[in-house]
Amino acid sequence: MVQIQNEIARKVAEKEVTKIIGQPANQSIDLLEQELTVIAASIRSPQGDSGHAGMLMEEADYMAAFGVAVPFVAPNNPGTYPVGPFPNGTRKEREAEHEKLIEVYETYLGVGDGLKTLILRAVDEDYILELKNEIIGYLQVTPKQMIAHLRTRWGSADFVDKCTLLNELNSPWNVAEVPTAHFNRVEKAIKQLARVNVPWPLEASMNSTLKAFKDSGDYDPAVREWEAKPEADKTWANLKIMVSNEYSKFHRQNTATAKSVGYGSANSATAAIDDYVAITEELVATITEENEKKIKALTKETTDTLNQIKALLENRPAATANEPSQSYRAKKRAEYRKKLANTTACANCGTKHPNVPDAKCWELDANAATRPAGWKSAKATNN
């Protein structure tokens, strides 16, 4: 059964924890403890979903965190074999029960071994060497004792740490930040202050959070509803739920609005610009040779400006199924240029207009009604 202990220890030691550089500080020890607790909780035990988290947590914290009525109990060594005599027909059953107890015990030992390996990997051994026995090393030291030693010897908060925590709690919440990050930071700071016997009224954080929430101007109905609640319901837990729900709803609705309005208009605008560029290019092809250079220069300036606007609009989702894609529009322009190159000049005006048959040329009096404003005959210009 020692194989179980070694396998569990290896499995736990493969996990990752944050390396503490230099002397451990109060916050870095807290982070290490949190990471180790999550790892320990992931290894199953007969005590429920908490796994082996109780190996590291204080009794009250453990019961509160996992909502259990009894503290974590370390399993005892069941010995080498179940003690008899047994009633007839029950020996195999007792042996199976004994093997299960051994598995639970070896798993517990393996988790402890793996956690100690992670601690020694995260912290320079100089800071924990005081616990090491010259003969058996850290064999009789638990992970919880290691964390307590680090906190007592190196991580105790001084006046600078306390002022930092107090300033953090006095800083108002920035409503641009996800509220859960703010709540976690407040609770962590209060917990750290409690360890060094500095009390902090939770009501102060509640009032500060609610004021920042109201000052944003986006949640007035929710604030009024909160203020109308009975005082017994105005708890930190309920405030977290209310703020998180309203924040999520507000940002979800505004994101949807931005997509439906902004993105749609951006798609339409870009498509219109592409169409305008294509039309401009076709008009250039119908202009007389004498004016072509001037018009090309003007068209290039206009096209460059339009392309700059288009580039600003490109930071958007892909075109919808009802809109032509960029590749499609580029393909159509390439097809037009190829068609223009292969088209002969019109017998009536001497220019190329591949999309307009010679019979529809504006030089013909029969097509006078289709001539654009300001049109001039190429023949008149050549004369």
Q: How many CB atoms lie within 10 A of CB 284?
A: 15
Query: In this structure, are 28 and 98 located in the same domain?
Result: yes
Query: In this structure, are 21 and 133 located in the same domain?
Result: yes
Query: In this structure, are 15 and 102 located in the same domain?
Result: yes
pLDDT classification of 171: cutoffs 50, 70, 90: confident
Query: In this structure, are 87 and 107 located in the same domain?
Result: yes
Quote the crossing angle between the two packed helices 202-215 and 236-258, to the nearest 10°: 20
Query: In this structure, are 204 and 148 located in the same domain?
Result: no
Domain membership of residue 191 (yes or no) is yes
Distance CA(118)–CA(77), nearest Å, equals 24
Q: Of 204, 234, 251, which residue sits at a domain end? A: 251
Q: Of 251, 286, 321, which residue sits at a domain end? A: 251
Higher-pLDDT residue of 308, 169: 169
Look at the chain and report how many structural domains it folds into. 3
Domain membership of residue 170 (yes or no) is yes
What is the distance of C-alpha 372 from the center of its chain? Answer: 56
Higher-pLDDT residue of 209, 296: 209
Q: Of 204, 228, 251, which residue sits at a domain end? A: 251
What pLDDT digit, counting tens, does each position of 129-153 carry?
A: 989 998 999 999 999 999 999 988 8
What pLDDT digit, counting tens, does each position of 202-227 carry?
A: 899 999 999 988 888 888 899 899 99
Nearest C-alpha neighbor of 30 from the set 115, 151, 146, 200? 151
Name residues whose C-beta falls within 8 Å of residue 262's C-beta, 6 or more positions apart in sequence. Answer: 316
Query: In this structure, are 90 and 204 located in the same domain?
Result: no
Tokens of 157: 């908060």
Q: Secondary structure of 291-319 in the HEC alphabet? A: HHHHHHHHHHHHHHHHHHHHHHHCCCCCC
Give me the domain span that covers residue 90. Answer: 2-153
What pLDDT digit, counting tens, does each position of 10-67 carry?
A: 999 999 999 999 888 888 998 999 999 999 999 999 988 899 999 999 999 899 889 8
Domain membership of residue 316 (yes or no) is no
Q: What is the mean pLDDT of residues 64-85?
A: 85
Query: In this structure, are 148 and 170 located in the same domain?
Result: no
Query: In this structure, are 147 and 39 located in the same domain?
Result: yes
CB 284 within 8 A of CB 299: yes
Region of 79 please: left (phi>0), alpha (psi -120 to 50) or beta: left
Residue 350 has pLDDT above 90, yes or no: no
Q: What is the mean pLDDT of residues 164-190?
A: 85
Domain membership of residue 288 (yes or no) is no
Domain membership of residue 65 (yes or no) is yes
Give residue 264's pLDDT. Answer: 47
Tell me which long-range contacts 319-325 makes (C-beta under 8 A, separation of at least 24): 319/267, 319/271, 320/267, 323/267, 323/268, 323/271, 324/271
Distance CA(29)–CA(151), nearest Å, equals 7
| Cα–Cα distance list, 284 to 101, 272, 350 (Å) | 90, 18, 14
Query: In this structure, are 44 and 137 located in the same domain?
Result: yes
Higher-pLDDT residue of 39, 302: 39
Residue 295 has pLDDT above 90, yes or no: no
Query: In this structure, are 135 and 16 located in the same domain?
Result: yes
Domain membership of residue 45 (yes or no) is yes
Query: In this structure, are 148 and 171 located in the same domain?
Result: no
Residue 311 has pLDDT above 80, yes or no: no
Query: In this structure, are 13 and 132 located in the same domain?
Result: yes
Tokens of 289: 């040779």
Domain membership of residue 265 (yes or no) is no
Regarding pTM above 0.75, the answer is no
Give residue 234's pLDDT. Answer: 92
Q: What share of the chain has pLDDT > 70, as a percent?
A: 80
Residue 107 has pLDDT above 90, yes or no: yes
Domain membership of residue 273 (yes or no) is no
Higher-pLDDT residue of 58, 2: 58
Name residues whose C-beta falls within 8 Å of residue 218's C-beta, 6 or more positions apart in sequence. Answer: 175, 250
| Cα–Cα distance list, 115 to 13, 45, 111, 131, 282 (Å) | 7, 16, 6, 15, 74
